[in-house]
Amino acid sequence: MKKIEKTGKTAYERPQLKVFGSVRNLTGGSIGDVGDAAGMNMVMSDPRAKENIRQVGTHPAGFGLYTFDYKAEFQNTHGATRQFGVMADEVEAIIPAAVARDASGYARVDYAALGIAQA
C-alpha cells in the first residue's frame, strides 16, 4: 500500500486474486475427499457440509469459487484443513451433468468436468 503525501491516508488498491497453481498449493492438500458416485470421481460439494465459506472468485461458467472448512462431522472423511472448491447447488444450476448425489443424499461434483485440476 502507498501512502498519499498530502493526506497521509493509504491509497486504495484493488484486491488481486493470487494464482496458486493448484488446489494442493492453496489448501495444503487436495479438494476435499474424492469418492465414486455415478461412476465418476466426485468431491463432496454440498453446502450443508461446509462452514466459514468465503467466495474468492468466479468460474468462467458463472458459479462461485470458494474457500471453506468442512463442518466437524465431515472433517475425518473430507479434510480438516482449509479447502477450495465450489458449491454443488450453483454448479447444478449451470452444469447439471457435473453433479450427483451420494448414498446419503449429499451433492458431489465432478471437478474434472469443470476443468478444475485436483492435483
- Tens digit of pLDDT per residue, the chain (119 long)? 555 566 667 766 665 555 555 554 444 444 444 444 444 578 999 999 999 999 999 999 999 999 999 999 999 999 999 999 999 999 999 999 999 999 999 999 998 888 887 65
Q: What is the CA radius of gyration of the chain?
A: 17
Secondary structure letter of residue 26 according to DSSP: H
pLDDT of residue 117: 72
For residue 115, what pLDDT is reported? 84
String of DSSP letters for 29-89: S-SS-EEEETTEEEEE--GGGEEEEEEEEE-TTS-EEEEEEE-HHHHHHH-SS-EEE--HH
Question: Which residue is it, cell 448414498?
Answer: 103
